[in-house]
Amino acid sequence: MSSYFTDLAQQYIDGEWRPGTGSWDIIDFNPYDDEKLASITIATVDEVDEAYRVAARAQKEWAKVNPYARRTVFEKALRLIEEREQEIAEVLVTELGSTVGKAYFELHLAKEFMREAIHVALRPEGRIIPSPIDGKENRVYRVPVGVVGVISPFNVPFLLSLKSVAPALALGNAVVLKPHQNTPIAGGTLLAKIFEDAGLPAGLLNVVVTDIAEIGDAFLEHPVPKVISFTGSDKVGRHVATVCARNFKRSVLELGGNSALVVLDDADLDYAVDAAVFSRFLHQGQVCMAANRVLVDASVADEFTEKFVAKVKTLKTGDPRDPETVIGPVINSSQADALSGVVEQAVAEGATALLRGTATDNLVEPSVLTGIAADSALLQQEVFGPVAFLIPFDGEEEAVRIVNDTRYGLSGAVHTGDIERGVNFAKQIDTGMFHVNDATVHDEPIVPFGGEKHSGVGRLNGEATLEAFTTQKWISVQHGRSAFPF
Instruction: Kindly list the distances between the CA atom of residue 47 and the CA atoms of 51, 208, 212, 218, 323, in Å, as whole numbers in the listed order.
Output: 6, 8, 13, 10, 41
Quick check: is 449 in a domain? no
Identify whether residues 306 and 427 lie together within a single domain. yes
Q: What is the pLDDT along the chain (486 residues), one digit of tens a residue?
A: 568 999 999 999 999 999 999 999 999 999 999 999 999 999 999 999 999 999 999 999 999 999 999 999 999 999 999 999 999 999 999 999 999 999 999 999 999 999 999 999 999 999 999 999 999 999 999 999 999 999 999 999 999 999 999 999 999 999 999 999 999 999 999 999 999 999 999 999 999 999 999 999 999 999 999 999 999 999 999 999 999 999 999 999 999 999 999 999 999 999 999 999 999 999 999 999 999 999 999 999 999 999 999 999 999 999 999 999 999 999 999 999 999 999 999 999 999 999 999 999 999 999 999 999 999 999 999 999 999 999 999 999 999 999 999 999 999 999 999 999 999 999 999 999 999 999 999 999 999 999 999 999 999 999 999 999 999 999 999 999 998 999
Q: Counting beta carbons within 10 angstroms of the beta carbon of residue 75, is it exposed (0 to 12), middle (13 to 18) or buried (19 or more)?
A: middle
81 close to 110: Cβ distance less than 8 angstroms = yes
244 is catalytic: no
Same-domain check for residues 356 and 469: no
92 contacts 186 by C-beta, under 8 angstroms: yes
Is the domain of 21 the same as that of 83?
A: yes
Q: Is residue 447 part of a domain?
A: no
Structurally, the chain folds into a number of domains equal to 2
For residue 448, tell me if it sits in a domain.
no
* pLDDT recorded at residue 2: 66
**Do 319 and 185 lie in a common domain?**
no
Q: Where are the alpha helices (DSSP H) in 216-283?
A: 218-221, 234-246, 269-281
Residues 269, 249: one domain?
no
468: CATH: 3.40.605.10
Instruction: Clarify whether residues 348 and 234 are in a common domain.
Output: no
Among 396, 321, 464, 401, residue whose Cα is nearest residue 1: 321
The answer to whether 218 touches 226, Cβ cutoff 8 Å, is no
Strands 412-415 and 435-436: parallel
| Cβ within 8 Å of residue 405, ≥6 positions away | 379
What's the CATH number where 304 sits? 3.40.309.10
Residues 28, 131: one domain? yes
15 and 64 within one domain = yes
Do the domain assignments include residue 443?
no
Are 139 and 216 in a shared domain? Answer: yes
Q: How many CB atoms lie within 10 A of CB 341?
A: 10
Which residue in 95, 106, 116, 254 is the catalytic one? 254
Three-state DSSP state, 16: strand
What secondary structure letter does DSSP report for 200? P
Helix, strand or coil, per DSSP, at residue 319: coil
- Identity at 214, one-letter amino acid code: E
Residue type, 392: P
Would residue 441 count as lying in a domain? no
Q: Are residues 198 and 131 in the same domain?
A: yes
| Residue 222 domain boundaries | 4-255+455-474
- Which position among 95, 106, 288, 382 bears the catalytic label? 288
Same domain for 271 and 162: no
46 plus 181 within the same structural domain: yes
Question: Residue type for 427, please?
Answer: K
Residue 483 lies in a domain: no
Beta bridge partners of 17: 12
* Beta strand 259-263 pairing with 412-415: parallel
Sign of the alpha-carbon torsion through 65, 69, 70, 76: negative
Q: Nearest-CA neighbor of 188 among 212, 218, 152, 224?
A: 152
Which of 148, 144, 142, 110 is closest to 129 using CA atoms? Answer: 142
Cβ neighbours of residue 357 under 8 Å, at least 6 residues apart? 317, 364, 365, 366, 367, 386
* Whether 288 is catalytic: yes
